[in-house]
Amino acid sequence: MVHCYLASLAVFVYMCEPKFMPRRVLRAAFRAGVLVRLRHASLYSGSEFGFHAIGEMTGEMGKQFGVSVPPPQQVYACEAVPWKRQWILDNFTVAHVFGDASTMCEETSFCYRTNSHVPIPEADLLWYGFSCCG
């Protein structure tokens, strides 16, 4: 878990402020296999933008460093609006889709994909957003 968190942090530090994370450090980490698959989740993101963004970012990093970067894994989405939640269920392969963000700090929550209470998966990165209006 610590390696995964540190790896995720290193990748995002590089993407946001490259001067703080030299390319040679990340290249060495990629090649040594220290950087592992990033697990991410979303709360009320609506369009699941984070799913697309993280995929593009990790793909680009793989190209820049000339290494195979493990594809990110979305471990859950949480959406209170029923039609948005259904859209996520219909269009994404995320294993768990929850509906109540207030339960994300508990041990389990109701999953609309499995129609049962399941443990809340751990994530390295959490996307969140407000409902789009328009």
Q: Does a structural domain hold residue 68? A: yes
Residue 134 has pLDDT above 80, yes or no: no
Domains held by the chain: number = 1
Ramachandran angles phi, psi of 48, nearest 5°: 60, 40
Closest CA to 125 of 29, 45, 46: 45
pLDDT tens per residue across span 21-33: 556 666 666 666 6
Query: Do residues 26 and 11 touch, judged by C-beta distance below 8 A?
Result: yes
Residue with the bigger pLDDT between 39 and 88: it is: 88
> What is the extent of the structural domain holding 98?
38-128
Here the tokens at position 90 are: 């219909």
Residue 7 binned pLDDT confidence (cut-offs 50, 70, 90): very low
Q: How far apart are CA 114 and CA 28, in angstroms?
A: 40
Does residue 19 lie within any of the structural domains? no
pLDDT bucket at 2, cuts 50 / 70 / 90: very low
pLDDT digits (tens, 9 = 90+) for 94-115: 899 999 888 888 899 999 999 9
